[in-house]
A = this chain, B = another copy of it.
Amino acid sequence: MSASEFDLIHACFRKEARIFSAMTRVGNGDDASVHDVPEGQQWVVSTDTAVAGVHWPHDFPVAMAADRAVCAALSDLAAMGAKAHWAWVSVMASDESVLQDMGKGVTSALNRYDVELSGGDTVQSPLNAFTVTVSGLLPEGLAMQRNQAKVGDDVWLLGRVGFSSLGLNDWFSGVREGGFIADFQTIEPKLRQGESIRHLGVRCCMDVSDGLFQDAEHLCHASGVAMNIDLELLPEWADMVHAVGEDRATQAMLSGGEDYALLFTAPAHLSGLSSLAVKIGSCVKGNKVSVRLYGASVMPKQQGFDHFGES
């Protein structure tokens, strides 16, 4: 076994993983990892899969795809207001050089956000793919959930939406630098900001991964409210219209996925939010999402990304 699975996993992943949690009792390399949970804390878990040709173009650098996969998973912890601590990364890789690039991207992202690589799995497969499970901690009872919006709440957006989908379009058009390319290449999970808004008292939040309109509908459905969104209030609306025109900007901002902004609601009396996020609308009675542009009703042509969907 000159370059066995076990040596490769060590070289590509474990050797480069530099964060070790003081709460980990059995780390990477046994059948499972074992962790302490401090009193008064709850543990939070999420998992995300990314597949070549679905979540990134086949000619996109695989190390970047790996970095994105980790950050997309971490974004779910941000949306709960959790502090990220641990990750388990399973990869399907077509050959050793792909595996090496995957290792670079995975460990770079984990090290950047101080997250421990606690385990994983490696399989040779014709298709390249990642499943990233992430975990962190939350003070008891303070998780931000998507079912906590109340009629009368303001609706906030932390981060931008629409830019990643324009970057992906640029990529498919052959652009490799400039334009919106950088907005697709990297994801910034809003971990620090998620904790900040939780500290400020926010109790309803989700991350926007499948498009603002569709994800807002999920939040409304879970909470039993309707939502009005004013398109022109979205971060950098005017700039995007200037760059691509009103129709494309509308479509990108309402339906473009993969930006990983945080969508949250909060009662009007909560202070401190405007230094972190932008108020884009309000929660009202009903069960639908209504979008307006300078007061006129707007509907997205395509609602968002939907695996197995017919639209």
Binding site for B on A (CB under 8 A): 1-6, 8, 25-26, 29-37, 39, 42-51, 53-55, 76-77, 79-80, 82, 86, 88, 90-92, 95-96, 99, 118-127, 129, 131, 133, 135, 138, 140-141, 143, 145-147, 206-207, 218, 222, 303, 306-311
Contact = CB atoms under 8 A, between A and B. Distances in A.
Contact of A4 (B1, B5, B82, B306): B306
Q: How many copies does the complex hold?
A: 2
A270 B49 CA distance: 44
Contact of A2 (B26, B303, B307, B310): B310
A2 B310 CA distance: 7
A34 B309 CA distance: 28
B125 A51 contact: yes
B308 A96 contact: yes
B30 A80 contact: yes
A5 B133 contact: no
A147 B34 CA distance: 14
B86 A45 contact: yes
B143 A1 contact: no
